[in-house]
Amino acid sequence: MHSPYPVQLISTPEKGARISFSNTLEIVDDALKMTPMSLCFLDDKVILSFDKTKEWNAQCGHRNEYESVEACLKREAFEEAGVTIDIIAEFGRMKYETYYNTKKQYPSVTYIPVYVAKVIGIERLPEGSEVDKVIIADHEEAVMLLGARNDNKLLLSVYQACREFYFVKMTQAGMTADE
């Protein structure tokens, strides 16, 4: 199937990993979807967090034991950005293949499911949040901030494709981005 969205591969030798992205949603054991990510849109803007990696990022985090992917996405969006979200759809998955894993805490292949979400509420960051700051970035600002990342160049193109996907879904639902 031809897709207008990116299917890419990058290597991060400094982390001993290879990250690829596909929006072809193959069947994957739910246990391997360890760190789901959401790109949270508010009107025509996106929520970005400056997190412990000292990089701008979408909201992403590890699932708690017995926690569903959707529950994790909602929890992480609140913990890392102070937002409540409606999940629109799973857009694709980043496949994270580790060449070496000294701690052996994760399998050698895991998946980061990437979801598109609509922000439905904004609150203050919760006490003890692991992020330093949050921004509601317009497209130009998001491209600049995500493009400056040194560790994951793939995230910029995933953001751009998710943004396009978000506007298509809003149009199909009969809503404008700012409803």
pLDDT, one tens digit per residue, over 153-177 is 778 888 988 999 899 988 888 865 5
The answer as to whether 2 is a domain residue is no
Evaluate if residue 95 carries a pLDDT over 60: yes
The answer as to whether 158 is a domain residue is yes
The answer as to whether 119 is a domain residue is yes
Q: What is the mean pLDDT of residues 70-79?
A: 94
The answer as to whether 179 is a domain residue is no
The answer as to whether 105 is a domain residue is yes
pLDDT, one tens digit per residue, over 127-161 is 888 888 999 999 999 999 998 876 667 788 889 88
* pLDDT value at residue 12: 46
* pLDDT value at residue 75: 95
The answer as to whether 40 is a domain residue is yes
The Cα 156–Cα 146 span in angstroms is: 5
Structural domain tally of the chain?
A: 1
**Residue 15 sits in a domain of what CATH number?**
3.90.79.10
The Cα 156–Cα 138 span in angstroms is: 14
* pLDDT value at residue 19: 57
The answer as to whether 45 is a domain residue is yes
The Cα 100–Cα 146 span in angstroms is: 27
Domain range spanning residue 101?
A: 8-172
The answer as to whether 30 is a domain residue is yes
